[in-house]
Structure 1
Amino acid sequence: MRDQAESSTVDAQTLPLAGIRVIEFSHMVMGPSCGMILADLGAEVIKVEPRGAGDKTRYLPGSGSGLFPAFNRNKRSVQLDIAEAADRDVALSLIDSADVLLENFRVGKMESMGYGYDELAQRNPRLIYCSLKGFLAGPYGQRTALDEVVQMLGGLAYMTGPPGQPLRAGASVNDIMGGMFGVIGVLSALRVRERTGEGQVINSALFENNAFLVGTHMAQAQLSGEPLRPMPTRRATWAVYDIFRDKHDDQIFVAAVSDGQWHDLCDEFDLRHLSGDPELETNQGRVDQRDRIHTQLQAALSRLDLAEIEEKCTRRGLPVAPVNTPADLTTDAHLVASGALASTGLPSGDQVDVPLLPLTFGGRRLGLRSDVPRPGEHNIRYRDGPPDAAEQTEPIDSDTDVGESKTQSQ
C-alpha cells in the first residue's frame, strides 16, 4: 500500500468521517467522485472492482484518461465478481460491516444481483444505501443518461453555446455535482441514524442536478416572459463584464459591477471622460451604451500586457482574470502556495497533480493519505485474508499484507 505522509493536513484520526466504512460499487465519475469525497473526509472507502483488469474506467483514452486518477485517491481496492456465487459471501460480509453502500449502476442492476436495499437492510438495518442514477423516480426513470444527455435535455447546453450551437460544458458538471449531492445525502442520513439507529435509501440523479444548476434561468424565464438567450448573447447586466485582449492579443476577463468599480476602472485606465459622462452615470445608462464603452476600454487595454492589466485591476479591487487552461492550474501560484494540489501516484508509476477538496478544517487541508490503488491492491485484507478480516473497522494506516513500504509523493 502506497500510503502518504501528510504535511499541513488534518490528522487522519480526527477527520470528520473517521470510523465510517463505505463499500463502493461504482464506475466512471458520479459514483467515484462521491466515494472520493467521503474518503477525503476520513471514511474507509473500499472500492469493489471486477476480477481481472478491474474497473474499465482505468483504461479510458483521450479525455477520459483523467477520470480514474482524479476520483479514486484515498480508497482501498478489492476485486469481486459480485454477480457470481463464489464471491457473494465476501461481498455480503463487506456490506454487513459497512455504514454506507454506494452504487451507480443502471436502474435495477443491483436488485437483479440480490444487492437491493430491501434485501440488504434485513441483514444490516443500519446501512445507508446511496444510489446515484440518471433520473430520480418519474417518467424518465428508466432512461439511460450521460452528462451530455441531461445537459441537452435540461437546457444547460442551450445556455452554454452560441445560438443554434448547443455546447456541452467543459467539465462533467452534473456527474460531479451528483456525487456531491450524494455526499450531502449520506452525511444527512448518518445524522438521522444517530437518532433512529436505522439506515435508509439516498438517491441523487444527473437530470435533477442539472435542473438545479439552471434554476436561475428557469426563474428568469418565468419572471420576464421572454425567450432565454444563450449566455454568449445574453442581455447584459453590466456594461463591463467581458473578455478583452492585451497588446499581445492574449485574452483577459475584466468587469465592473458597481458604480464605485466603474469609476475606479475609468480612473485606472485613463478613461475619466467616460466616468464624468452624465449619460453613463447609472448602470442602465452604461448598459445602453455598452458598445461605445467596450471600444474605448479595449483601446486602452491594447496598450498593456496581461500582467499590467491584472496588476492595475487587482490594485483597485476590480474583477480580473486571464483566460487559462486547466493545464495552467498545475503551476498556478495560488494553488501551489496554498497546498491545494496533491501529487498523486498512479499504478503505472506516473504522478499527477490533482485538486484536493476545496475545504480547510481549522486552516488545514484534507490531504492525500493514499495514492490511487492498483486493481485488487487490498484483496489480501478484504477478500483472501482470515474470515474475520473484512470485519476490521479501525482505520488502516498501512497495508503490510501487500508488502510495500510507504512512499512520499509530495
Structure 2
Amino acid sequence: MASRPAHEASTSGARAAPASLPAQPAQIIRSESEALEIANQLSSEIAIEAQQRDRDRILPWQEVDALSQSGLWGITVPREYGGAGVSTGTLTQVVALIAEADGSVGQIPQNHYYALEVLRVGGSSAQKAFFYERVLRGERLGNALAEIGHRDFKRRTQLLRESGGWVVNGAKFYCTGAIYAHWIPTLVTAHEDEGERQYLAFVPRSAAGVIITDDWDGFGQRVTGSGSVQFDRVRVEPEWVVPFTASFEQPTTIGPFAQIIHAALDLGIGWGALQATLPFIREHARPWVDAAVESATQDPLLLAQIGNVHVRLCAAQALLARAALAVDAAQLQPDEDSVAAASIAVAQAKALSTSASLLAGSKLFELSGTGATLDGLGLDRFWRNARTHTLHDPVRWKYHAVGNYVLNGVRPPRHGAL
C-alpha cells in the first residue's frame, strides 16, 4: 500500500482531526455474492501490514477508506433505499473475513452497522432516507455510547432541548471508530415529562464542540481508535435524533444484531490465529522428543490439539450461521418469541466464539514453541486482540441467559448487551 502521511501514526493522548469527506461516491454493492467477493479481496490486502500497524499503533486510515469506498459499509442499507440489504449471515461472514486479516480493522465498522440497525428500527422514513443516502455515498458512522468513571450503567451525556436549539453535552469513552467517522451516533439522555428517555443523536464529526482524543492504549485492538469523545454543548438538529428507549420497550433485534457482529469478530480473530499457527508449525516447530517423529506435523499430540482448535472454530461458525438465520427471522416478524429465540441463538454463538478465539490464540504458542514468542513476529496480537475484544460483555452472562431460557423458559432482557 502507499506510504501513510505522518498524522496517521497514533500518538496516545493526541486530539484527532476530522476525517475528510469522500472525494467521490462509494461503490454500491448490489448482491450478497458481490459483498463476499469484495470482502475476500480486501481482507488479503488488509492482512499485509496488520503486524506493523499493531506494533507501531499506526491508525489504518487507508484501510478504513478502502473498506468504506468499496461499498461494504453500506451493505445493510435496505433495498428500498438503494442498498443491498444483505442477510445477517452475509454480514457476519464479511465481518469475520476482515477480522481474520486484522482484528482492529474488523471492529471499526461494528458500531456503524449497529447504528444503522437502530435507525432501521426506530428512525422515521425521512431520517432513514437522509442517513442511508450518506452511508451509500461513503460516509462513516462511529460511536459514542459508553461512559466511564461510575459503577453504574447510567448515561450522563445529556440532550438538552433549549429555546435556541438542541445541544449535546457530556463525555464518552470506548468510542470505537469515532476517529474515522463522519457522524458520531451518541447515546444521550433527555429529561422529559414521563421521566428520562434515551436517544441516539447522530452528531456531525466536524461540529463545533466535538473533541476526539486518541487515548486508547489497551494491549489489544490497538488501532481501533477506541478513545474519548467530548461534547461541549454541540448543536444537533432534531432530525438527527432517533428514539432509543422506545426501541427496547417492544421486541426488536437491536440487541441480538449488535451481539452477533461481536461474535463474528471473535470468530474471525480465532481463524486468523489458526492460519498463523499452521505455517509456523510446518516451517519452524520441532516435535517433542518423546513423539519419536521427524517433523512437528507428525506429532500425534500436536495433531490432536490442532484438531481440537479447528473443531471448535467450525462449531462456533456453525452456531453463528444458525444465529444469523434467527436474527433474520426476527427482523421480518419481531415479537416476544422470535426476538428471544434470536437473542438466545446469538448468546450461544457468542459463548463459543469467545472460547474458540481465545483457545486458538493460546494454542498458537503452546504448539509452535518458544520461537513463536519472538517480539518481531507479532504473533501475540491474535491472543491480545481476542482477549481484549471478548471483554466487551461478560460471556458468563450468555451462559446464564441460555440456561434460564432452556430450564425456566425465561426470555432474556432486551438491551444492547445481549
Give the TM bin, normalised by the shorter chain.
under 0.3
User: Which structure shows the higher helix fraction?
Assistant: 2
Q: TM-score, normalised by structure 2?
A: 0.23
Task: Point out which structure has higher relative CO (alpha carbons under 8 A, 6+ apart).
Answer: 1
Q: Give 1 or 2 for the bigger CA radius of gyration.
A: 1
Q: TM-score scaled by structure 1?
A: 0.23
